[in-house]
């Protein structure tokens, strides 16, 4: 059973996090120009653990760093300007504008970015834990919202026999029908990862999914030096690597960049308007604006184009049910 935090506990946690952020910012601000050992250069944020960053420099070096307080939130995938310091570390002095950012609600209800500058969201699913279609739909709405492609990856296929693999795939056939590719892989079979690697080539992808689906193991299988790389990040940040506790960026030898995100029991979308939620379901797009009433919310209104499409088999009943469930939360937020 998950214990809910009281408002007072949430406030206390937020205060501790803010204190840590201010302490790190003070250290970064105290670095004067005399402390810098080189010119300003570009870099990419590989991982952030609280007040600490790890950067990938333009020459490929991995550099521990801090960042200026006036930069706000700095996250995995951010393109930055930084300068080396005398102690061999670095200070981030500027963050380039983001193309997009994947976020989810944090304490206090505000959206908190997880990773930035993405082009593909990969939802990793396995026979166990039991996949949640509701969670999958939320991830895909998030992808639509920030303008990136979505992909479903069915892993641990080696745990199933041929009939089981086919049944597993058929559960998610509805997503292929609306334009989301579905790949089936196994890290324990020769060339078993190839279908996914081909999709990741040339992309900046983020892996998302429930805790326990094996995302970190999948990352290690795709990256030859994955465990060593995680170890170096762990050493730089002072955090262990038993599980993924923060989004981390890797380069793929086959081409592209890959971000592994922390596993979650549930994923909640941030604040959405009804229009944003509608557009998050890509198969709704041909029917939007076709309802009898301009303010139709596609629940039980007469002559609703979305409801009619579902009744005629043109839209998935389960996807429409997800939309209606999420709509309740969106409307409640709008009222608040």
Among 138, 103, 145, which Cα is nearest to 326's? 138
Q: List the alpha helices (DSSP H) in 93-172.
A: 133-146, 162-170
101-260, CATH topology level: Rossmann fold (3.40.50)
Task: Decide whether 36-97 matches 101-260 in CATH topology.
Answer: no
pLDDT score of 159: 81
The helix/strand/coil state of 296 is coil
In this prediction, residue 230 carries a pLDDT of: 41
Rounded CA-CA distance 188/43 in Å is: 35
Stretches in the chain below the pLDDT threshold 70: 1-38, 108-109, 190, 224-245, 263-266, 330-336
Q: Which two tokens stand for residue 64?
A: 């521990």
Query: Where is 274: in which H helix or E strand?
Result: helix 274-280
pLDDT score recorded for residue 164: 85
The C-alpha atoms of residue 199 and residue 170 are separated, in whole angstroms, by 20
> Does 1.10.40.50 match the CATH number of domain 274-335?
yes
- pLDDT for res 182: 94
pLDDT value of position 86: 84
CA–CA gap between residue 261 and residue 269 (Å, rounded)? 16
- 36-97 CATH pick, 1.10.150.20, 1.10.10.10, 3.40.1360.10, 2.40.50.140: 2.40.50.140
The tokens for 175 are: 């997503």
Number of residues that this document lists for the chain = 336
Q: Which two tokens stand for residue 186?
A: 């196994």
Residues 216, 261 contacting (CB under 8 angstroms): no
Q: Over the stretch 107-131, which tens digit does the pLDDT of each residue have?
A: 766 788 999 999 999 999 998 888 8
The predicted structure's pLDDT at residue 244: 53
Cβ contact 104:267 at 8 Å: yes
H or E segment to which residue 56 belongs: strand 52-57
| pTM for the model | 0.81
Ordered by start, the domain boundaries in the chain are 36-97, 101-260, 274-335
């Amino acid at each position: 059973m998950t214990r809910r935090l009281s408002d007072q506990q949430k406030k206390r946690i937020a205060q501790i996090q803010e204190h840590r952020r201010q302490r790190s910012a003070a250290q970064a601000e105290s670095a004067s120009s005399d402390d810098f050992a080189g010119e300003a250069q570009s870099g990419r944020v590989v991982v952030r653990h609280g007040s600490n960053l790890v950067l990938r420099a333009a020459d490929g070096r991995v550099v521990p760093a801090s960042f200026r307080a006036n930069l706000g939130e700095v996250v995995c995938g951010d393109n930055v300007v930084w300068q080396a310091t005398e102690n061999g570390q670095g200070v981030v002095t500027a963050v380039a504008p983001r193309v997009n950012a994947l976020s989810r609600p944090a304490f206090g209800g505000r959206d908190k970015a997880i990773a930035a500058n993405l082009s593909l969201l990969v939802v990793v699913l396995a026979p166990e834990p039991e996949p949640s279609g509701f969670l999958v739909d939320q991830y895909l709405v998030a992808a639509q919202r920030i303008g990136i492609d979505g992909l479903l990856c069915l892993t641990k296929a080696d745990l199933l026999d041929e009939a089981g693999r086919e049944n597993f795939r058929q559960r998610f056939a509805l997503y292929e029908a609306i334009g989301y590719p579905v790949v089936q892989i196994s890290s324990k079979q020769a060339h078993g990862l190839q279908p996914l690697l081909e999709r990741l080539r040339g992309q900046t992808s983020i892996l998302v999914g429930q805790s326990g689906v094996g995302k970190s193991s999948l990352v290690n299988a795709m990256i030859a030096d994955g465990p060593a790389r995680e170890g170096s990040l762990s050493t730089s940040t002072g955090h262990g690597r038993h599980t993924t506790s923060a989004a981390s960026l890797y380069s793929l030898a086959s081409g592209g960049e890959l971000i592994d995100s922390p596993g979650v029991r549930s994923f909640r979308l941030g604040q959405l308007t009804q229009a944003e939620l509608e557009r998050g379901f890509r198969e709704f797009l041909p029917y939007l604006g076709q309802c009898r009433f301009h303010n139709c919310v596609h629940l039980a209104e007469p002559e609703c184009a979305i409801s009619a499409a579902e009744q005629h088999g043109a839209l998935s009943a389960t996807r429409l049910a997800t939309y209606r469930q999420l709509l309740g939360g969106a409307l409640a937020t709008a009222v608040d």
